[in-house]
Amino acid sequence: MRPEAPLFASPRAASLADAIQHQGLEEAYAFIRAGQDPNVPLAVQDPDLTGGRVRMVSPLMLAVAVRNENAVLMLLSSGARMDLPQNRLALCLAKELGDEEISGILADTADTAIKCPEHALPQ
């Protein structure tokens, strides 16, 4: 009777970060289409990713961290730039996580001369 009821549909993402974390590609793209810059860092608070603290993370780094390959592709095609400081370590993070698919995608656009630190995201 009510297809929008929580039993049948997930709640709408409240932010681009929420959409990326919960694999909501269409919702994430809607935020980008509405004018959100794919290079501007987002406030992220997650018990696993940030230890419960609020951290500013680029959409691309967040997509890599949650292993959202589709969001990585969408962000790159929507203007996420690998040469910006907030995105430079995206390939390093993908390698650190052992995600070969995302590493392969990012290797085509990343500066492969960058020396990866021990941890791509601060601990």
The phi, psi pair for 16, rounded to 5°, reads -60, -40
Reduced to 3 states (helix: H, G, I; strand: E, B; else coil), residue 76 is: helix
Per residue in 32-54, pLDDT (tens digit) is 999 999 999 999 999 988 889 99
Our separate counts of H helices and E strands in the chain read 6, 2
119/31: higher pLDDT: 31
DSSP 1: -
Whether 3 has a pLDDT exceeding 70, the answer reads: no
62 C-beta neighbours (distance < 10 Å), count: 24
Higher-confidence residue: 38 or 108?
38
Phi-psi sector, 67: left (phi>0), alpha (psi -120 to 50), beta? left
The mean per-residue pLDDT over the stretch 56-70 comes to: 97
Q: Is 35 left (phi over 0), alpha (psi -120 to 50) or beta?
A: left
75-91, pLDDT tens digit by residue?
A: 999 999 999 999 999 99
Alpha carbons 65 and 107: distance in angstroms, whole number = 16
Asked whether the predicted pLDDT for residue 1 surpasses 90, the reply is no
Residue ranges of domains in the chain, CATH in brackets:
16-107 (1.25.40.20)
Average pLDDT of the chain?
89
pTM over 0.95: no
Q: Buried (b) or exposed (e) across 24-33, using 16+ Cβ within 10 A? A: bbebbbebbe
Q: How confident is the model at residue 9 (pLDDT cuts 50, 70, 90)?
A: low
| pLDDT of 123 over the 80 cut | no
